């Protein structure tokens, strides 16, 4: 019996290729979105992990210093006094090739001691020099023999269009330097290839000279044994370290990197799930329609002894087949889409978190399995209610279509009550005092589901309200078009709900993005007080080792036409709980009070306390993530040991910082850390001096050897907003795909209506309606469905937007912002919904208008 039921179900699916194909397409697109986003994220993480492994190698621990790194004598003491031979010094930074690379890629500069480094990073084992000896001694000789000598992989050289013996110009911080490629590494496997990609290997002395880091080290790698022996070694090593230094395990550093992008990953994953949810509406619609079509068949099966459980299994089995097929196709499509979104995700991660270059799409098996499982689960879950309804069909059921619609209308109030209850539950989940992102998204999902359950009642009310108006405007056909929506409520309600949910995603994301944009623009206006800004040409927010020459600062202060000069130093310092991003300001009280926007604290009082050197202000994200407020303390490792700094203010900050920043005066910074570098300089023009004249004067004063970027206030704002726009580019792709899923849902519902109401429209043709009139009536009805979906999407979209702004962004990044409601966004949403519905109606309307009345009525 079960095999016969299975064959019956499969025969039904195959006999209706259009309906089955649309069901498959809906879930396919949903799965493709999830897989594509996940593959893009995993590829970026994989590339950065390999890049980090090129630096970390087999090290178990790392000694890190303050902003000025570690003095070389620390390494000497480690090797000579303590006898720790499993140690290797590193000087690292970033360089940008000039003239040979139109893509403007970042190359990681790695300065090593070739003799001490082979046990950590055995590059001569993973690759051999082309046309060179591959012995470690010879490799070291290549690096030490010539000044500014570098090694690169064959793949990197090919990408840059260079070869061994060539000289390459590199932009490093605020200078341009020539380096010579003395050898090429030929990796023997794909892992080695990825590890060495975009990596420049130099002797440590060369790196110190190129990065202006003479006498200092970025960090020291250690390889310590596990257990008590390793713990004892750590105690001995800590005893000789400078006060501002710390020892970090490789596992801790990996966890820190994962934490940096976790909120970004979670947000994209949940947003991508929305497309799958919209696809689930489509499955519900298709399976419910299949049950309705087969009520007589199912009734007959029940009469000959088929149990409720067997009927339930038959319907869920059909859904499972659709789910499996859809998921397989969706996974394949996701791989294709993933290649398209990879660059967008990579650029966003580079802008916000760390420099990463991705050449190939990584395809982890788990990402594919996860996407497929989500697709199958969503399909079966969506088919559960229709399958349950199928078990209630009595033997020899003869329930008419009109009676079935009456049952759906009668159930609308109950569904509305259940929907309101779900929305209350969702609101509670969202408003619970928690920092959990998934709790907030769980609340959003519950709210969306509850709101969707209000759709049948809302559609019935709108249909009845529109019927008189449509009748007065367009006559009988207009009234019939409006009433027809409620007449097929079992089909139209789900299609309208799916489209409304998809459009609400557009409203919520657009509202959030525009609100955020307004907030960022206001913050930039209040934060950027100088007329022009100077920074290293290759500076990025992740390259805190970049700096400007102190000599440049002195020359600017003596320059005619300059009213004032302000400086900022972005640095990473250590604390007992990990690394902390520090912002050291050298500015005047007037500028500080005028241009720094504080959430808590008075600027003048904050300024006074900062000058004493025992106080700091923290950014809003730092305060949120650390759970501290004004009056609390922040512990930092300084040259004088662990120091407690009192928090005297909290300021708004929307810079690219994963965990927030700590602000102090430059005077205090100079006292506690041995670092005289400057990250950026702001220059204000004297009275009567134009911005263009000031830029020209500053440019002439800068040494020809220096490579710096000079930008006006307006140019810097434009650049910041360009980063902002790139950060949200991926969300535009996601909700465009979600609307595509909803479009398929509407098309599926309209095809179902066209099949169900064939007799009705055949009768209309028989009594004198022309094909054009049938086409117009059906199209008008579909347009009204789109309008209804757009109207229903507005409140849901605003609710979701508010949650994104006040809850999700807060928990993800620690930011706060005001919500801006733009009528144009709401109007566009209604237009998009209506347009999508009308486009979906073209084919079903044509088929319906061309159907022969005689054939339709004869079949009936």
Say what the pLDDT of residue 541 is.
43
Alpha helices in 596-712 (DSSP H): 603-612, 620-626, 666-672, 691-701
Say what the pLDDT of residue 428 is.
94
Angle at alpha carbon of residue 629, lines to 626 and 631, rounded to 5°: 125
Distance, in Å, from the CA atom of 139 to the CA atom of 195, rounded to the nearest integer, reads 18
DSSP 389: H
Say what the pLDDT of residue 854 is.
60
**Chain centroid offset of residue 752 CA:** 37
Closest listed residue to residue 848, CA positions, set 768, 762, 730: 762
Model pLDDT for residues 783-798, shown as the tens digit of each residue: 888 899 999 999 999 9
| Signed CA dihedral, 342, 347, 348, 350: sign only | positive
Say what the pLDDT of residue 164 is.
82
Model pLDDT for residues 425-444, shown as the tens digit of each residue: 999 999 988 888 778 888 88
Say what the pLDDT of residue 275 is.
60
Say what the pLDDT of residue 256 is.
60
DSSP 673: S
Say what the pLDDT of residue 728 is.
72
Query: Which burial class, exposed, middle or buried, applies to 712 when counting CB atoms under 10 A from its CB (0-12, 13-18, 19+)?
Result: middle
Which long-range CB contacts under 8 A does 433-442 form with residues at least 24 apart? 435/811, 436/811, 437/263, 437/266, 437/267, 437/270, 437/808, 437/811, 437/812, 438/266, 438/270, 440/803, 440/807, 440/808, 440/811, 441/266, 441/270, 441/808
Say what the pLDDT of residue 293 is.
65
Distance, in Å, from the CA atom of 120 to the CA atom of 113, rounded to the nearest integer, reads 11
Query: Which burial class, exposed, middle or buried, applies to 436 when counting CB atoms under 10 A from its CB (0-12, 13-18, 19+)?
Result: exposed
Instruction: Tell me if 90 sits within 8 A of 55, measured CB to CB.
Output: yes
Spans of the chain below 50 pLDDT: 124-137, 397-399, 540-544, 859
């Amino acid at each position: 019996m079960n095999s016969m039921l299975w064959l019956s179900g499969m025969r039904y699916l195959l006999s209706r290729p259009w309906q089955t194909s649309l069901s498959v397409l809906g879930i396919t697109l949903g799965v493709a979105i999830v897989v594509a986003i996940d593959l893009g994220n995993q590829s970026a993480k994989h590339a950065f992990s390999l890049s980090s492994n090129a630096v970390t190698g087999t090290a178990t621990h790392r000694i890190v210093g303050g902003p000025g790194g570690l003095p070389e004598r620390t390494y000497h003491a480690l090797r000579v006094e303590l006898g720790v031979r499993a140690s290797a010094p590193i000087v690292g930074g970033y360089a940008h090739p000039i003239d040979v690379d139109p893509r403007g890629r970042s190359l990681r500069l790695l300065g090593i001691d070739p003799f001490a480094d082979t046990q950590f990073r055995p590059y001569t084992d993973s690759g051999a020099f082309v046309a060179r000896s591959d012995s470690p001694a010879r490799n070291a000789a290549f690096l030490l023999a010539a000044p500014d000598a570098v090694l690169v992989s064959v793949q990197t050289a090919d990408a840059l269009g260079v070869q061994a013996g060539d000289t390459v110009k590199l932009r490093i911080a605020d200078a341009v330097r020539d380096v010579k490629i003395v050898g090429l590494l030929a990796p023997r496997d794909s892992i080695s290839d990825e590890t060495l990609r975009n990596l420049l290997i130099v002797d440590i002395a060369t790196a110190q000279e190129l990065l202006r880091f003479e006498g200092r080290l970025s960090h020291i790698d250690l390889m310590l044994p596990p257990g008590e022996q390793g713990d004892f070694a750590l105690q001995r090593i800590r005893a000789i370290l400078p006060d501002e230094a710390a020892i970090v395990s490789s596992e801790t550093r990996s966890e820190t990197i994962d934490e940096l992008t976790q909120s970004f990953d979670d947000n994209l994953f949940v947003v991508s799930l929305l497309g799958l949810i919209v696809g689930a509406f489509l499955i519900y619609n298709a399976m419910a329609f299949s049950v309705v079509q087969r009520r007589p068949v199912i009734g007959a099966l029940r009469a000959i002894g088929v149990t409720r459980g067997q009927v339930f299994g038959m319907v869920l089995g059909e859904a499972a087949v659709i789910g499996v097929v859809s998921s397989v196709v969706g996974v394949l499509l996701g791989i294709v889409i993933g290649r398209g979104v990879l660059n967008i995700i990579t650029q966003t991660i580079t802008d916000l978190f760390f420099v990463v270059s991705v050449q190939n799409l990584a395809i982890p098996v788990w990402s594919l399995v996860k996407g497929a499982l989500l697709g199958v689960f969503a399909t079966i879950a969506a088919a559960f209610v229709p399958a349950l309804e199928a078990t209630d069909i009595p033997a020899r059921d003869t329930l008419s279509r009109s009676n079935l619609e009456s049952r759906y209308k009668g159930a609308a109030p109950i569904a509305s009550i259940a929907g309101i209850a779900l929305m209350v539950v969702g609101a509670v989940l969202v408003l619970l005092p928690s920092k959990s992102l998934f709790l907030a998204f769980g609340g959003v999902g519950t709210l969306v589901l509850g709101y969707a359950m209000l759709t049948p009642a809302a559609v019935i009310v709108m249909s009845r309200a529109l019927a008189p108006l449509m009748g007065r405007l367009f006559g009988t056909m207009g009234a019939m078009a409006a009433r027809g929506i409620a007449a097929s409520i079992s089909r139209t309600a789900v299609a309208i709900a799916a489209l409304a949910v998809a459009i609400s995603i557009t409203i919520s994301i657009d509202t959030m993005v525009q609100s955020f944009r307004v907030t960022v623009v206001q913050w930039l206006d209040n934060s950027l007080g100088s007329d022009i800004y100077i920074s290293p040409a290759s500076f990025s927010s992740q390259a805190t080792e970049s700096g400007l020459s102190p000599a440049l600062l002195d020359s600017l202060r003596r320059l005619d036409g300059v009213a004032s000069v302000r400086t900022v130093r972005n640095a990473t310092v250590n604390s007992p709980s990990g690394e902390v991003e520090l912002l050291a300001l050298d500015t005047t009280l007037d500028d500080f009070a005028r241009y720094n926007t504080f959430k808590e604290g008075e600027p003048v009082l904050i300024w006074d306390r900062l000058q004493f050197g025992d106080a700091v202000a923290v950014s809003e994200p730092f305060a949120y993530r650390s759970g501290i407020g004004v009056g609390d303390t922040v512990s930092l490792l300084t040259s004088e040991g662990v120091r407690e700094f009192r928090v005297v203010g909290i300021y708004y900050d929307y810079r690219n910082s994963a965990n927030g920043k700590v602000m102090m005066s430059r005077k205090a910074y100079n006292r506690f850390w041995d670092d005289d570098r400057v990250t950026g300089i702001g220059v204000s023009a004297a009275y009567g001096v134009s911005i263009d004249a000031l830029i020209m004067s500053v440019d002439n004063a800068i040494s020809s050897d220096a490579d710096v970027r000079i930008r006006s206030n307006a140019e810097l704002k434009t650049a910041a907003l360009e980063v902002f726009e790139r950060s949200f580019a991926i969300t535009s792709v996601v909700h465009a795909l979600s609307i595509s899923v909803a479009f398929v849902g509407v098309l599926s519902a309209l095809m179902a209506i066209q099949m169900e109401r064939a007799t009705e429209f055949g009768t209309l043709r028989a009594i004198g309606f022309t094909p054009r009139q049938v086409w117009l009536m059906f199209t008008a009805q579909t347009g009204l469905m789109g309008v209804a979906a757009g109207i229903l999407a507005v409140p849901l979209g605003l609710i979701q937007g508010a949650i994104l702004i006040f809850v999700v962004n807060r928990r993800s990044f620690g930011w706060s912002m005001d919500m801006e409601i733009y009528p144009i966004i709401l109007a566009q949403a209604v237009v998009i919904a209506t347009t999508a519905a009308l486009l979906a109606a073209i084919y079903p309307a044509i088929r319906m208008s061309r159907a022969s009345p005689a054939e339709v009525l004869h079949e009936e």
